[in-house]
Amino acid sequence: MKILITGAAGFIGFKFSEYLLNKNYSVFGVDNLNNYYDVKLKKKRLLELQKYKKFSFKKIDLKNSKNLENIFKKNKFKYVFHFAAQAGVRYAIIAPRDYINSNINGFFNILDLSKKYKISRLFISSSSSVYGDLKKFPFKENFNLQPNNVYSLSKKFNEDLSKSYSNFYNLNVTALRFFTVYGEWGRPDMFIMKFINSANNKKIFLLNNHGNHYRDFTYINDVTKILYKLLKKKYKNNYEVFNICGNRPIKILNVVKKLKYLLEKVKIQNVKKHKADVYKTQGSNKKLTNAIGKINFTSLDEGLKNVLNWYNLYYKK
Ligand SMILES: NC(=O)c1ccc[n+]([C@@H]2O[C@H](COP(=O)([O-])OP(=O)(O)OC[C@H]3O[C@@H](n4cnc5c(N)ncnc54)[C@H](O)[C@@H]3O)[C@@H](O)[C@H]2O)c1
């Protein structure tokens, strides 16, 4: 059985590809290897995947529907996991067009080809940011969404358009609302990696909102296990949406304290809240655990320890 993974050189796409390959699935990865963050890290992830015989890769941009269709034509994919996107809420304020290109146009190509080539189920990446700056916690899947920037709006549009394809064309779709995923091989534009990089390079770390906001950090190896269970699950509905989170929000300042104790080198400069940031994310995972059973979430302490070990072994310059 062959599975298409878009964004295979990205953080979650890479880790999930690796997970599937270890379970002996055939994985076809695509990615445009854009330079939103360290391209060397993306290439290193690909080198890890290329150690597996059952991994193939093609560098393409999802905007290019012809190239993408050729891949669907030549391979009989049973499932598609769509992770490729322009990520990040802050960058959305700076480069909105990148989000329209990848998250709207690129997304449409994946959705439409999944319909045309009768994919058994398409899994799409949504985000906790679709909830917006809500003050009612924990966020539940049936809440009214209040996205307010081009990133979160693009993710809500992805969900809505998938739902419509489910209705009109019976396409099976599972939408995955990820909450601040972190771990080994993580994204350098996100808080934990940024902080470790600042310490390592003896740079000043700009701490948004003095660290007074909360995030529901979710460890990557928990995420890959969840994704696998969602792949194996029998679905009653064509369209489903799940929060992917531990429902364990933590104040950023407390994460800084944990990291400061580990690193002791970083110089912190407090700055005011970034316009694009929300105060708190906290997701309910009741719907998820009802669907796939109990999940033993990794503690933040253990997750951070693993990130630091990986960083020192593989990433530190
Ligand atoms: N990491 C998180 O905490 C988090 C939280 C919420 C949602 N998400 C979503 O999950 C998905 C995966 O996130 P990630 O953290 O792995 O991000 P990532 O940036 O590491 O991975 C995305 C990959 O997609 C590729 N890509 C982007 N545009 C493309 C295009 N037009 N054509 C081909 N490839 C393209 C990039 O080169 C990158 O390697 C994204 O859709 C993201 O929005 C992630």
Closest CA to 178 of 81, 57, 267: 81
84 CA distance to ligand 1 middle (Å): 4
Decide whether any atom of ligand 1 lies within 6 Å of the 34 Cβ.
yes
**Closest-CA residue to 290 (of 220, 231, 223, 243):** 243
- For the segment 180-209, the average pLDDT, to the nearest whole number, is 95
For residue 159, the CA-to-ligand 1 centroid distance in Å is 16
317 domain residue, yes or no = no
Angle between helices 11-22 and 220-232 (to 10 degrees): 60
Please give the pLDDT value at position 316: 82
Residue 261 pLDDT: 77
CA of 265 to the centre of ligand 1 (A): 30
Residue 48: pLDDT above 80? yes
Give domain status of residue 73, yes or no: yes
pLDDT category, 125, cuts 50, 70, 90? very high
**What is the per-residue pLDDT for 263?**
76
What pLDDT is stored for residue 202 in this prediction?
86
Q: What is the pLDDT averaged over residues 211-225?
A: 98
Res. 64: pLDDT tops 90: yes
Is the residue at 207 inside a domain? no
The C-alpha atoms of residue 199 and residue 221 are separated, in whole angstroms, by 25
Which of the two residues, 265 and 220, has the higher pLDDT score?
220
For residue 197, is it within any domain?
no
Residues sharing a CB contact under 8 Å with residue 261, sequence separation 6 or more, in sequence order = none
| pLDDT above 70 coverage of the chain, percent | 100
Catalytic residues: 151
Residue 8's pLDDT is: 99
**Cβ of 4 less than 6 Å from ligand 1:** no
C-beta of 98 in contact with ligand 1 (< 6 A): no
Looking at ligand 1, which residue's alpha carbon is closest to its atom 12?
Answer: 83
Nearest protein CA to atom 10 of ligand 1, as residue: 125
pLDDT above 90 for 317 = no
Is the confidence at residue 30, as pLDDT, over 80? yes
In a domain, 311, yes or no: no
Q: So what's the pLDDT on residue 264?
A: 77
What residues make up the domain containing 42?
A: 2-182+216-247+282-298
For residue 178, what pLDDT is reported?
Answer: 98
User: What is the pLDDT, as a whole number, of residue 265?
Assistant: 79
CA–CA distance, 227 with 218 (Å, rounded to integer): 13
For 178, 186, 252, 256, the CA distances from 260, given in Å and listed in that order, are: 26, 19, 12, 6
The answer to whether residue 260 scores a pLDDT higher than 90 is no
Reported confidence tier of residue 270, pLDDT bands at 50, 70, 90: very high
pLDDT of residue 216: 98
Atom number in ligand 1 closest to CA 178: 6
Could you report the per-residue pLDDT of 83-121, keeping only the tens digit for each?
A: 999 999 999 999 999 999 999 999 999 999 999 999 999
Average pLDDT over the chain, rounded to an integer: 96
Q: Is 12 in the pocket of ligand 1 (CB under 6 A)?
A: yes
**Domain total for the chain?**
1
Establish whether residue 127 lines the binding site of ligand 1, counting it when its CB lies within 6 angstroms of any ligand atom: yes
Is 266 inside any structural domain? no
Average pLDDT over residues 280-301: 98
User: According to the model, what pLDDT value does residue 266 have?
Assistant: 87
Residues 6 or more apart whose Cβ sits within 8 Å of residue 167 = 238, 239
Q: Is the CB of 62 under 6 A from ligand 1?
A: yes
What pLDDT does 14 receive?
Answer: 99
Cα 252 to the center of its chain, rounded Å: 19
pLDDT of residue 213 exceeding 80 = yes
Query: Where residue 55 sits, what CATH number does that domain have?
Result: 3.40.50.720
Sequence-ordered list of residues with C-beta below 8 angstroms from that of 112, at least 6 positions apart, any chain: none
Q: How far is the CA of 86 from the centre of ligand 1 (A)?
A: 6
Please compute the mean of the pLDDT values over residues 127-144 and round it to a whole number.
98
In the predicted structure, residue 181 carries a pLDDT above the cut 80? yes
